[in-house]
Amino acid sequence: MQIIEKLTKKKEMGILVMIIVLSIILAFANSNFLTLNNIFDFLRSNAVLGIMAFGVLPVLLTGGIDLSISSTIALCAVVAGEFMLAFPSSNILIVIIISMAVGAVVGAINGLIITKFDIPPIVATLGTQTIILAGVLLYTNGVWISGLPQWFISFGQIQLGAFHSVGKVVGLSMQVILLIVAGLITWLIIKYTLLGRGIYAIGGNKQSAMRVGYNVNKITIFVYIFAGLMTGLAAVTHISIVGQVDPNTYLNYEMDVFAIVFIGGTSVVGGFGTVLGTSLGIVLMAIIKNGLVLAKVPTYWQKVVMGLIILLTVSVDVINRKREQAKLVRVDVEEEEVDKRE
């Protein structure tokens, strides 16, 4: 009994229920929906947004925001693509490291601008977003980079534990593995390190965090570098799916990424949010996009249904939270403890 009570109190409950209900409906609408093949497919299609969502989660937890990720992924993808054309005999590890390094540099610049000069993150990252995008378009003229080496294309096709089922090869693709690794790393950092506690503390109250002894500037710079690193990984993941680099394709990516994180229950002003919530956000977005087509929902209605589901999920979450807070209003200490445990 107690376990059930504990479960229903979890903030991720609303979105989990939504995922289960939707899955049941969609499974009835199309028997293909709940096949392993389809699940792996839609996870693969959403791996890029997912990795970026894990990347910006710590930033959003500190109450910051990183608008530059959509330009950073374009930059990383172009650098990775050009590198592979220039050194066709290198290997995937080097490509990933280079792409992540480029992302880290952008993140460090963001972090430094924000901390050293105390500029609001939304302004600072809007600036870097514009500058980087302009630079990428100046350099590439928007022309696609094609003809990537065969070993890279093969890397994108790798399926772990592949087996044949109903005449199709089913397996966990490389992109999904990268997504899971990104999620695990993020989870370990924010849940089990002092750094992670500092991230939540800054989002809760910057002044208190400082007084308690957290190095707010260092932590802030770290979260932006982390976002850059993950964006670099997402860039390689993206070009490994499509096999070409289209510098214009990443426009407005940041909006889809934020949507995932916020649907996953992360507070818009920082302070709370979890890797589990973000993971569920990724799954929900993936299910909606994939399921609406499979359920043969008419094209023009798809966006309407999508918006409704998002609103419904978030409002269930908010109502739950309000109810909880109403209960805890008298005992402030307890509420803080709950927040810390998140």
Positions in the binding site for other proteins (CB under 8 A): 30, 32, 38, 41-42, 45, 48, 113, 116-119, 123-124, 127, 130-131, 134-135, 137-138, 140-144, 146-147, 157, 238, 241-244, 246, 248-249, 289-290, 293-296, 298-300
Closer of 57 and 114 to other proteins (Cβ): 114
**Token code pair at residue 12:** 């991720």
Q: Any idea what DSSP says for residue 162? A: E
Smallest gap from Cβ 88 to other proteins, in A, equals 16
What is d(CA 289, CA 173) in angstroms, rounded to the nearest whole number?
19
Of 42 and 187, nearer to other proteins (C-beta) is 42
What is d(CA 98, CA 315) in angstroms, rounded to the nearest whole number? 41
At 112, list the tokens.
């430094």
Taking the C-alpha atoms of residue 262 and residue 46, their distance in angstroms, rounded to an integer, is: 16
Placement of tokens 């299910």 in the chain: 287
- Tell me the CA distances in angstroms from 91 to 148, 154, 240, one per residue in order: 12, 12, 13
Q: How far is the CB of 227 from other proteins (least distance, A)?
A: 19
DSSP code at position 65: -
Q: How far is the CB of 114 from other proteins (least distance, A)?
A: 10
**Closest CB to other proteins among residues 137, 314:** 137
Q: Check if the beta carbon of residue 285 is closer than 8 Å to that of residue 255.
A: no
Q: Which is nearer to other proteins, 274 or 290 (CB)?
A: 290
From the CB of 232, what's the least distance to other proteins, in Å? 17
Residue in this structure with the two tokens 């499974």, named with its chain if needed: 27
Shortest spacing between CB 121 and other proteins, in angstroms:
12
Q: Which helix (H) or strand (E) holds 220?
A: helix 216-242
Is residue 284 within a helix (H) or strand (E), and if so which, with residue range? helix 275-294
DSSP 68-107: THHHHHHHHHHHHHHHHHH-TTS-HHHHHHHHHHHHHHHH
As measured in angstroms, the least distance from the Cβ of 263 to other proteins is 19
Nearer residue to other proteins within complex by CB, 144 or 151:
144
Closer to other proteins by CB, 37 or 215: give it: 37
Closer to other proteins by Cβ: residue 6 or 296: 296
Least separation in angstroms between residue 291's CB and other proteins is 9
